[in-house]
Amino acid sequence: MTIGNVIKKYRKNKGMTQEEMAVRLGVTAPAVNKWEKGNSLPDVSLLAPIARLLGITTDELLSFRDELTDEEINQYLSKLQKDLESQDFHTVFLSVKEKIEEYPNCEKLIWQAAVILDARRMAIKLADRDPYDPAIFKWYERCLLSEDEQIRNQAADSLFHAFLRKNDYEKAAHYLEYFSLENPERKRKEALVNSKTGKRMEAYRAYEELIYTGYQHLQMVLNDLRILYMEDDNPEMAKKLVKVSSSAASAFEMGKYSEVCWGLEVAAWEKDVAWTAQLMQELLDSVDSIGDFTKSKLYQHMRRKSIDPDFAAGFKQELLKFLEDDTFHYMQGNEAWEKLKSGVS
């Protein structure tokens, strides 16, 4: 916000005309008019008198206050939501524009106000939305320069969807550059663009890869959470998470082995003889299903490699060796366990 805009805003708030202000400061009315239009600047010696006359600090006069506190931003956004319910969109838009001019470096304010206005004009199906694009898109573009990753990502996301709605897929794809290569949202959005631009196979493959990697990440989280409950001696939740992991493996069509394997550590932790024997038997019986996800239509477009039969055989031998591990000392002498050790099912 320029010094001229500040003077104009607070002069009007005081109910003063340019002539009245000029008289109080000992200058001419055309001089005040030039300040407000940005054609000239007040003399340095007048800064303090102008600030006192307007009831503000010299910092505010010079627009040094570029930030608002989180509390102030939240209060303003709450008021903005209410104003949008009670006033016409254009009036509220102009008030937001003025606020952003007052705090041009307050990224959080710019980002969230832009999102609220953008969402509102779509929610009420504003008949003539396009004239607001330049300002709203400019605010988003400003936020793309933020050092805050969340603000950058949200601004890029808003611009991506805005141009997607306009069927400008090239422009939409441009904003994906603001997402890191590791961010799954980038890949999902790339798949969305591919699906709209005739690259159907690439889209299918990307979506399926996201499902697969999402499943892997989910199981890691469930496993970590289960371990945490075990450390806090909570067998009920540990067992519940085993069931959730098993259900996830089934839902994502990962094969019988993946459905069974999650309970063995909990069974050993509880020294549950019957459950341990049952799980180990099921694991040995389902080794050949380790690569079953490659047969699932859920992943039919992924580049997949079939599991080598020799791998399954070798893995089964490793499981049999595991039967001798000290972890399962409580199983020694159990008839079912001894049969498994001897390779008798």
Total domain count, the chain: 3
CA distance 120 to 84: 8
Would residue 191 count as lying in a domain? no
Domain-ending residue, one of 12, 31, 61: 61
Q: Same structural domain for residues 327 and 241? A: yes
Q: Same structural domain for residues 332 and 209? A: yes
Q: Same structural domain for residues 25 and 121? A: no
The answer to whether residues 193 and 173 touch, using CB atoms and an 8 Å cutoff, is yes
The answer to whether residues 199 and 183 touch, using CB atoms and an 8 Å cutoff, is no
Which tokens sit at 252? 């994502």
Q: Same structural domain for residues 54 and 100? A: no
Residues contacting residue 216 through CB under 8 Å, at least 6 positions apart: none
CATH number for 15: 1.10.260.40
SS3 5: helix
Q: Same structural domain for residues 255 and 166? A: no
Q: Same structural domain for residues 164 and 53? A: no
Write down how long the chain is: 345
Would residue 159 count as lying in a domain? yes
Which tokens sit at 311? 């791998």
The answer to whether residues 224 and 237 touch, using CB atoms and an 8 Å cutoff, is no
pTM: 0.73
CA distance 22 to 33: 9
Q: Same structural domain for residues 173 and 242? A: no
Q: Same structural domain for residues 236 and 335? A: yes
Which residues form the domain of 274? 202-341
Nearest to 219 by CA among 247, 196, 184, 188: 247
Would residue 50 count as lying in a domain? yes
Would residue 117 count as lying in a domain? yes
Q: What is the chain's pLDDT, residue by residue, as a tens digit (345 residues)?
A: 578 888 988 899 889 999 999 999 999 999 999 999 888 989 989 999 999 999 888 877 876 555 788 999 999 999 999 999 999 999 999 999 989 888 887 889 999 999 999 999 999 888 888 999 999 999 999 999 888 989 999 999 999 999 999 999 999 999 999 998 889 999 999 999 999 999 999 999 999 999 999 999 999 999 999 999 999 999 999 999 999 999 999 999 999 999 999 999 999 999 999 999 999 999 999 998 888 899 899 999 998 666 777 787 888 888 888 888 899 999 988 999 988 887 654
Would residue 189 count as lying in a domain? no
